[in-house]
Structure 1
Amino acid sequence: MNIETLSEKVYEDLNGRITSVEDSEGIVIYFLCDDWNGFSSSRVFQIQCFDVKESDIQPTFSGGVLFTAQHPLLWNHNETHGYLYYSSEPANRYEILGRVWEAHEKVFGGWRPLTDYANTYHAGQFIEFCKGTHGQLAQGPRSVLDAYQSAVAGLLETKFVASFTPEGGYKALVFDTCFVICKSVAVTELTS
């Protein structure tokens, strides 16, 4: 079985769950779910992740499994990065922060914190955000900065400056509340 087939077969009512995770030569995830053929048995799968770049995986329930090349979690690893500078003083910097936060939540849906990208100058002290007539608004992948730039359009003059492009080629293995960023996966059914 491959990951695409497993993704198609697993759905919320199958009581899917990650039962354990091993970190050796990549990451190995053990996933258990009810049999989708309607029998009263369970199925256990070993999902091995290769060339792991990032992981936030732990035992948990999951109603789905997705392996994709298109997810906001991948932007850190596959997209051109840069800086978003501003060159005008905002009338209300708290409105700017609110708009940036709203754009951030819209694109990430809780997967990454705003503080990974927004330039708060002092971690956790948003009071310093966007203070003065010029400075750095944020840094990170182009898609994130484009969303921020659109959110503050008309309120603040901004400019994107590219800095580097990562190696790329990563995919995201996404469960309900956790993920692995890797190059490839192999699925083995252990029992049926």
Structure 2
Amino acid sequence: MNIETLCENIYEDLEGYISSIESTYMGVSFTYETDHWDEHDKRVRFKIECEGVAESTLNLDAGGTFKLLNEHPILDEYTGDSGSLFFSSKPENPNEIIGLLYSAHLSYFGEWRELSKYLNTNISFGELLSSGNGSLATAPIKVLEIYKKAVSDYLKVNIIKSHANDGGFQLLLVEDTYIVCKKISVKYC
């Protein structure tokens, strides 16, 4: 069994759920219990081992659908380039800037990421904008481009690349939780 096959066969009506989660030497492993997709009167358990884990929100009882993705807004942090978005002008209405950033962020990430993860929170945002220059956000370049587009009519902004991320990560969605890792293996328990 591999993760792709498991993802194709797991669906919500099978009453599956994560029954245990363990930290391992190589990453994270979890046990998933579910009705078998072909033999509905048979219950099966899988041990799913994730190596090279970068991030996880998996929790007990998460279940339903499985999706394995190589592209998702969460993965931007682990692929491509990252940097900072700087500004060098004073906005007429600082509150409008935060509203524009929030709307742009929400339309891209949905509920997957908080805006505060990327915004400069070293001082209040109002103070920062009133200063006339500084760093607005540090994030993946793809995200910074979205922010830049949202505020460029109101602020003079510039993106500076800081580093390239190594990539090679995948995202396994389990219902509304996820794990970002390099490698996933599956075996029956």
TM-score normalised to the size of structure 2?
A: 0.91
**CA deviation after TM superposition for structure 1 residue 88, in Å:** 1.8
After TM superposition, the structure 1 = structure 2 runs for residues 82-121 of structure 1, keeping only pairs within 5 Å, are 82-121=83-122
Q: Answer whether contact 2:86 2:133 (CA < 8 A) is retained.
A: yes
Secondary structure at the aligned position of 1:22 is classed as: strand
Superposed CA deviations along residues 22-69 of structure 1, whole A, max 9, x for unmatched, are 111221111112222252222211111112222222212322112221
Matched, 1:144 2:143: yes
Instruction: Please list every run of at least 4 consecutive aligned residues from structure 1 whose deviation after the TM superposition is greater than 4 angstroms.
Output: none
Unaligned stretches of 5+ residues in structure 2: none
Which amino acid counterpart does residue 117 of structure 1 have in structure 2?
Answer: Y
Larger CA deviation: 88-97 vs 129-138:
129-138
Secondary structure at the aligned position of 2:104 is classed as: helix
Aligned-residue CA RMSD (Å)? 1.6
Which amino acid counterpart does residue 140 of structure 1 have in structure 2?
Answer: A
Unaligned stretches of 5+ residues in structure 1: none
Give aligned-pair identity as a percent. 35
**CA deviation after TM superposition for structure 1 residue 175, in Å:** 1.4
**CA deviation after TM superposition for structure 1 residue 145, in Å:** 0.6
CA distance in 2, matches of 1:117, 1:4: 32
Match of 1:157 in 2: 156
Superposed CA deviations along residues 71-90 of structure 1, whole A, max 9, x for unmatched, are 11112221211010112211
Q: Answer whether contact 2:128 2:134 (CA < 8 A) is retained.
A: no
**CA deviation after TM superposition for structure 1 residue 134, in Å:** 1.7
Secondary structure at the aligned position of 1:7 is classed as: helix
CA distance in 2, matches of 1:33, 1:12: 10
Match of 1:189 in 2: 188
**CA deviation after TM superposition for structure 1 residue 182, in Å:** 1.0
Q: Answer whether contact 1:87 1:133 (CA < 8 A) is retained.
A: yes
**CA deviation after TM superposition for structure 1 residue 98, in Å:** 0.9
Match of 1:80 in 2: 81
CA distance in 2, matches of 1:129, 1:12: 46
Q: Answer whether contact 1:93 1:129 (CA < 8 A) is retained.
A: no
Secondary structure at the aligned position of 1:146 is classed as: helix
Larger CA deviation: 82-91 vs 126-135:
126-135
TM-score normalised to the size of structure 1?
A: 0.90
